[in-house]
């Protein structure tokens, strides 16, 4: 996908293409939509608000036609579940069979499964029906939407790579021969384990190890560049991640009722991954950015699924990296903001328990990594140079501390502070 700002062409396009949602001309080209008659039309993704639409050639008087709002459905019904699991490009063609599969779920759950010899390969339609049953089972068990999406995606990936889901040895072979990370292999194995358990397939999960890597910690200026170069909605989202260290899914599911505007407080009572509930005091800057967003739904960012805003972020990041000739920006993800906040907070306070509670970690083992990262970035043996200030004025001291200066010592009633360049 590439960023496109259409230019006026009097012969063909009297006016530039604009987003029908916010009227912006700053758009990303989002691939082609292939029609049943064999023709293709251009799809667009608004850089400012994240609205997705396509150019139509069927009606010359109305050049822009709404294709879809980016994944606005939530997994709150069988039909919505099917469409979220199938994916936007395939939903139209698979909708009749998918809805029919959901309508028979109650019957499937109450009937006794017929015994089947292990390894017997089913038809593609039967496997897809089984995957739908797995998704619905997880939905009823109150699994997170992102977890359901991951399980469905993993099972469909195994099928597309040639695995026979009825034969565990075939599944093991596919997992072992893929160029996946250890964490990815573990997730796929866990997804198939749910499938095997439901349909009575005996198998032994392949051994995988959890690889703990040192995360990339960008400079604060690089984070600020991403925020400044983003559209209104994405910039607000990134500023929220920078100040609170939220996970992407937690931020997208925030509701307007979670904000106390008068006291500038955000409360998170539905954290991900078994984390503890958290509360933050946010800056006036972020509060003003949030108030500038339209309030069309109960969710602050409109769509509670992070995939939509992640697509917008990836395009913006790529565009800025090319424009500024800084490939380091491409290494920044949503979760990088969380790592940066944790490292910075530990450097400022040297209080590991405070960092643990700020991030909501259930176990302090997950927080210990930031000690090593902080020592490497800010350690006393570093060759970095410092900016040093000395003052005895109380207001000046407050300003220095607020922008990250550290107190060093006092001499002749002068307090000395320093900050790395």
Q: Do residues 339 and 416 share a domain? A: no
Q: Count of domains in the chain? A: 4
Q: Do residues 363 and 229 share a domain? A: yes
What is the reported pTM?
Answer: 0.65
Q: Do residues 362 and 231 share a domain? A: yes
Cα–Cα distances (Å) from 170 to 116, 119, 134, 166, 173, in that order, read 17, 9, 20, 8, 5
Instruction: Confirm whether 194 is domain-assigned.
Output: yes
Cβ atoms of 208 and 182 closer than 8 Å: yes
Residue 414 belongs to domain spanning: 386-420
Q: What radius of gyration do the chain's Cα atoms show?
A: 26
Instruction: Confirm whether 130 is domain-assigned.
Output: yes
How does pLDDT run along the chain (421 residues), one tens digit per residue?
444 444 444 444 457 888 888 888 888 887 787 777 778 888 888 877 777 788 764 343 344 444 344 344 434 444 444 444 444 444 444 444 444 544 554 444 444 444 445 557 788 889 999 999 999 999 999 888 888 989 999 999 999 999 999 999 999 999 999 999 888 999 999 999 999 999 999 999 998 887 788 999 999 999 999 999 999 999 999 999 999 999 999 999 999 999 999 999 999 998 988 899 999 999 999 999 999 999 999 999 998 888 889 999 999 999 999 999 999 999 999 999 999 999 999 998 889 999 999 999 999 999 999 999 998 998 755 555 678 888 988 888 888 888 888 888 888 888 888 886 6
Angle at 226 (CA atoms; ends 150, 20), nearest 5 degrees:
75
Angle at 30 (CA atoms; ends 230, 227), nearest 5 degrees:
10
Instruction: Confirm whether 73 is domain-assigned.
Output: no
Q: Do residues 276 and 155 share a domain? A: no
């Amino acid at each position: 996908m590439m960023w496109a700002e259409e230019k006026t062409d009097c012969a063909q396009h009297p006016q530039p293409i604009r987003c029908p949602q916010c009227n912006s001309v700053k758009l990303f080209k989002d691939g082609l939509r292939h029609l049943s008659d064999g023709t293709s039309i251009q799809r667009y993704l608004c850089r400012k608000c994240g609205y997705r639409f396509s150019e139509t050639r069927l009606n010359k008087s109305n050049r822009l036609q709404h294709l879809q709002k980016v994944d606005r459905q939530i997994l709150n019904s069988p039909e919505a579940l099917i469409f979220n699991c199938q994916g936007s490009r395939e939903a139209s063609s698979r909708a009749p069979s998918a809805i029919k599969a959901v309508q028979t779920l109650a019957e499937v759950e109450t009937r006794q499964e017929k015994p089947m010899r292990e390894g017997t390969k089913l038809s593609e339609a039967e496997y897809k029906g089984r995957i739908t049953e797995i998704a619905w089972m997880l939905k009823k068990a109150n699994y997170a939407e992102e977890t359901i999406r991951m399980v469905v995606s993993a099972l469909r990936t195994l099928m597309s790579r040639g695995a026979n889901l009825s034969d565990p040895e075939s599944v093991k072979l596919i997992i072992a021969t893929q160029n996946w990370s250890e964490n990815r292999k573990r997730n796929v194995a866990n997804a198939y384990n749910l499938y095997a358990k439901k349909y009575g397939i005996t198998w032994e999960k392949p051994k995988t190890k959890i690889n703990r890597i040192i995360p990339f910690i960008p400079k604060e200026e690089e984070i600020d560049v991403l925020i400044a170069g983003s559209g209104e909605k994405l910039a607000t989202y990134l500023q929220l991640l920078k100040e609170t260290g939220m996970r992407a899914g937690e931020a997208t599911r925030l509701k307007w009722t979670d904000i106390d505007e008068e006291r500038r407080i955000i409360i998170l009572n539905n954290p991900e991954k078994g984390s503890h509930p958290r509360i933050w005091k946010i800056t006036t800057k972020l509060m003003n950015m949030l108030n500038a967003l339209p309030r069309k739904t109960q969710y602050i960012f409109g769509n509670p699924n992070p995939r939509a805003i992640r697509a917008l972020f990836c395009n913006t990041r790529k565009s800025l990296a090319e424009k500024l000739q800084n490939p380091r920006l491409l290494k920044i993800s949503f979760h990088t903001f969380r790592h940066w906040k944790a490292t910075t907070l530990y450097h400022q306070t040297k209080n590991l328990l405070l960092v643990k509670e700020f991030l909501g970690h259930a176990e302090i083992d997950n927080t210990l990594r930031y000690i090593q990262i902080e020592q490497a970035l800010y350690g006393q043996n570093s060759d970095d140079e410092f900016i040093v200030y000395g003052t005895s004025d109380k207001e000046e001291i407050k300003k220095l501390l607020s922008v990250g200066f550290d107190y060093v010592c006092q001499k002749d009633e002068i307090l000395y502070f320093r900050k790395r360049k």
